[in-house]
Amino acid sequence: MERFELHILGCGSALPTMRHNPTAQVVARGDKLFMVDCGEGSQLQMRRSRLSFARLHHVFISHLHGDHCFGLMGLISTLSLLGRTGTFHIHAPAELEGLLRPWLNFFCKGASFQVEIHAFDTRRSSVVYEDRTMSVATIPLRHRMPCCGFLFREKPGLPHIRRDMVDYLGIPNYALRGIKEGNGWTTAEGQVIPHERLVTPAAPPRSYAYCSDTAYLPGNAVLLEGVNLLFHEATFQQSEAARAEETLHSTAAQAATLARNCHAKKLVIGHYSARYDDEKGLLEEARAIFPETVPAYEGLCVPIE
């Protein structure tokens, strides 16, 4: 099975502090890397995490608050210094094009690669990236400016060949792809072996959802149903619920409630308010509702399973 994992480069904070870096994550699927948000210093965090710049081709920006996108120029400049040639893709709200392009024209003039900015509508869920193994869709969120999350979902894979049956029947390798795609096999004696006897079911597709920054949106449980791993902001404890609503953020209890209601397998909380000296209270509050909760911290790697 291909690796599918989340790397936390910066777990975020409503007000970045010396303890935490601005928001940035990398989703690794097979040999491809996808960045989610790009706070200041994200390229340095990638180096510390030993993640390959050559395998990063797409960045997804949730919204245009600085702690989620100020790292783009540093990242793109680093890619240019490394001699990149392949196109670099940024998926973001439409306003980013007008803001970033002048900076690129000035600071990255003569770069050896193209930067393409793909705009999307944060008000509705839509697929913004797709390849043969995975899709990425937006998740509408509610914040002080247009904002969305992202849902990474594997596509159903082909079934697995039963090696015992293949060896017993002497099926040649050239026929295995067709069997995976639904063919049966006819022996030299004319016996037809149905497809179902030659394979076992594929592993269920895995998924990862990113929800930051946002007020609590219980209706998103439908979009997130059955997600394997959910990252959800937990800026405040429930005692500060009024403040959370005022600033359009969420509490740890609300993040855990959403994880429970959408039947997530695991929850990662992050984007902590600077008022908390540590995240123990936030974690305890979330685990009281959803025990499979872990706190985000820089350098954390979580398998998506």
Domain locations in the chain as residue ranges: 4-157+203-303, 160-200
Contact between 64 and 99 under an 8 Å Cβ cutoff? The reply is yes
| Percent of the chain at pLDDT exceeding 70 | 98
Confidence (pLDDT) at 181? 86
- What is the CATH T-level fold of the domain 4-157+203-303, as seen in this structure? Metallo-beta-lactamase; Chain A (3.60.15)
**pLDDT over 70 at 13, yes or no:** no
Kindly list the distances between the CA atom of residue 25 and the CA atoms of 6, 10, 40, 265, in Å, as whole numbers in the listed order: 7, 7, 12, 19
Contact between 267 and 294 under an 8 Å Cβ cutoff? The reply is yes
Distance CA 10, CA 215 (A): 20
What are the strands of the beta sheet with 148-154, ordered from one edge? 127-130, 134-140, 148-154, 207-211, 229-233, 266-270, 293-295
Residues identified as active-site: 67
**pLDDT over 90 at 189, yes or no:** no
Mean pLDDT across the chain: 94
**Dihedral of alpha carbons 303, 17, 21, 129, sign:** positive
Instruction: Decide the pairing of beta strands 134-140 and 185-186.
Output: unpaired
pLDDT tens digits, 59-111: 999 999 999 999 999 999 999 999 999 999 999 999 999 999 999 999 988 88
Strand partners, 169: none
Task: Take residue 160 and report the two structure tokens written for it.
Answer: 């697995």
**pLDDT over 80 at 271, yes or no:** yes
